[in-house]
A and B are shown apart, each in its own frame.
Chain A
């Protein structure tokens, strides 16, 4: 301490709500991470994670290898294992991440350490960003621990190598979004338990409730209406029925010629609800994971592609022309609308990231000083 009574020089620097400096963000993030790294609970969580993911991966790979030994089936099991590991890591990540960020602000408040940090020259944006970065880095630590199992699945073949960075990146971005949501709830809810529950409910809303709502709304979207159908004409069957057995047999040898007719069909307008599935984190990763080059290839990885291409198709709702032609001819000429509606993951990822950003903005606004209102039942310090 100096004997002079002059104020420190940096005080003249303006600090606004949205002032963002690397120095400030690093100070908060380092503080958060240092506390986390030193807690035994955190180390235990990482070890448990490694053991659980490792055990399930090894058991699944063992089971898959037992089923098939040929090289083709080996590729298929490699792809299946990769799907298992991806779903497992994403699912567990979505379970663990809410606890990392959802007590960031109100937990500090109840521990009495928030206000002393708020009165420093750190801006609300720096505190929020630092806490978000620390929570995200912790979530990514779980991803890093899972990397060996991704590599094992990749080594079994059947999955393009480019899939791995895409899966990791998409998962990391989705977990960042969850961190943002948790941070937002932690400033809105007075108690840590409340914000954790709210974050879990939000994540559950994205992962569990979206397919449920999609399924429940499906009947209401179905209408019976006249649509164009490209298929084997009714007259074909009528003719066959009139023939005796031998002649029918001969007639069936001939491929029927498909025609466009107008018929009554039940049609579901999924173009209204497809987004419910698209914002699901699992769909985002599944749809975005496989590189575009692999879509065309008839690889075993197409298993995952099939799942997401059906979601892509849902986006279009019912096609203009229903394809009911089972005979092998050039139906593509008639079915003008492309069956591929394009990837849905950019939309889903954007929605998730926007929710995370909304949480972050709420957090910054709620960290502003001086405060006008206090959360019910809390003290400032």
Chain B
């Protein structure tokens, strides 16, 4: 994650020095997504109950929440398919309710579950969508070849979509969402069904799209995956935005770190003298002895809560200086996962 993008507030200053197209993201921010007080009910079920969200242009924003928290409904409203009961929505500067076509023209949407026209080839599917988006025929042909290469489907370009595997269909769906060069990309669970290699490719692709100045909103509940690609995060719970997380929070927020040492005893002794609170990590010892931190000579690790990456660096430096044989020091879990679990605790 680029460590220098500040948390974005509506109307607040925006700077993204690492983004080449950063000049686009001026104070008015015409290409991002802004949602305020969004409500939408299906009968008695309140799918969205006052959700707020800001997704910057030039950044990947993660939309995190448990099943049924309203992620898909929010994306449907943003894609211009559903009318919200109340609330304001701006997608790339257009209101999907009043200027539906204008917003649609600038939005690429990949639903969580979608079908493909099985009898059409991958290339025909993309050509149809290029036509539907009124992309010029000559530019469309070149772009489709490029997109097929991007999602590694070139060798399947002229095969019927029926022979594609689930992950390949998912990649075709991603190419489909990109066929009209959209300003805003809405991806609902894009990584489901993808193999590890494709996940890495997806991450790199989304990073590149964001670096080109686009707005990328990705929903998922696989937090480790989002952690690797997202700049910002929005947490949704019961149709409400419960918290936002930017890299600022990830950098400066209090997180749990996992510190491993060749000698757990040396580590815990030092932590006790330094006055740092710790707790056992519960991992099995390499020597087969039970998890007893007092066991001198055994290798192992403990969990330590530190404030920000600076705090982690200071802790590591002090420990090494004090002669503790530290093997590694790393976040115990992804920033998103920790934030998410913290929220779950708050809710209970």
Chain A contact residues, CB within 8 Å of chain B: 1-5, 7-8, 10-11, 13-16, 23-24, 27-28, 30-31, 34-35, 38-39, 111-113, 115-122, 369-372, 374, 379-381
Apart from A116-B129, A370-B83: 11 A-B pairs, beta carbons within 8 A: A31-B117, A38-B160, A113-B116, A116-B109, A116-B176, A121-B105, A369-B81, A372-B83, A380-B76, A381-B72, A381-B112
By secondary structure, the A interface counts as: loop
Q: Find A27's partner among B81, B113, B131, B143 (CB 8 Å cutoff).
A: B131
Complex Cα gap A19–B124 (Å): 24
Residues 123-170 (chain B) with a chain A CB within 8 angstroms: 124, 128-129, 131-136, 143, 146-147, 150, 160
Complex Cα gap A115–B114 (Å): 9
Residues of B within 8 A of A117 (CB): 132
Tell me the nearest residue of chain B to A112, going by C-beta: B115
Complex Cα gap A369–B57 (Å): 25
Tell me the nearest residue of chain A to B107, going by C-beta: A119
Residues 88-125 (chain B) with a chain A CB within 8 angstroms: 92, 96-97, 100-102, 104-107, 109, 111-117, 119-120, 124
A25, chain B: closest CB distance, angstroms: 11
A120, B124: Cβ atoms closer than 8 Å? no
| Residue B24 is within 8 A (CB to CB) of chain A in the complex | yes
| Residue B180 is within 8 A (CB to CB) of chain A in the complex | yes
A381, B132: Cβ atoms closer than 8 Å? no
B81, A4: Cβ atoms closer than 8 Å? no
A119, B135: Cβ atoms closer than 8 Å? no
B134, A116: Cβ atoms closer than 8 Å? no
Q: Find A8's partner among B113, B131, B133 (CB 8 Å cutoff).
A: B133
Residues of A within 8 A of B80 (CB): 119, 369-370
Complex Cα gap A4–B128 (Å): 24
A369, chain B: closest CB distance, angstroms: 5
By size class, the interface of chain B is 35 or more
Complex Cα gap A34–B117 (Å): 10
| Residue B214 is within 8 A (CB to CB) of chain A in the complex | yes
Q: Find A10's partner among B100, B124, B135 (CB 8 Å cutoff).
A: B135
Residues of B within 8 A of A8 (CB): 105, 133-135, 180-181
Residues of A within 8 A of B81 (CB): 115, 118-119, 369-371, 380-381
Per-residue A-contact encoding for B176-189, CB less than 8 Å = 1, 0 else: 10101111000000
Kindly name the residue among A39, A111, A121, A374 whose own CB sees the greatest number of chain B CB atoms within 10 A: A121
B83, A13: Cβ atoms closer than 8 Å? no
A257, chain B: closest CB distance, angstroms: 77
A116, B133: Cβ atoms closer than 8 Å? no
Tell me the nearest residue of chain B to A376, going by C-beta: B43
| Residue B190 is within 8 A (CB to CB) of chain A in the complex | no
Residues of A within 8 A of B124 (CB): 34
| Residue B79 is within 8 A (CB to CB) of chain A in the complex | yes
| Residue B82 is within 8 A (CB to CB) of chain A in the complex | yes
| Residue B301 is within 8 A (CB to CB) of chain A in the complex | no
B111, A381: Cβ atoms closer than 8 Å? yes
Complex Cα gap A28–B131 (Å): 9
Residues of B within 8 A of A4 (CB): 212
A38, B109: Cβ atoms closer than 8 Å? no
A5, B183: Cβ atoms closer than 8 Å? yes
Residues of B within 8 A of A5 (CB): 21, 24, 31, 57, 183, 212-214
B18, chain A: closest CB distance, angstroms: 15
B132, A115: Cβ atoms closer than 8 Å? no
Query: Known contacts A121-B101, A122-B132, A371-B82: does B106 contact A11 (CB below 8 Å)?
Result: yes
Complex Cα gap A116–B21 (Å): 29
B131, A23: Cβ atoms closer than 8 Å? yes
A112, B120: Cβ atoms closer than 8 Å? no
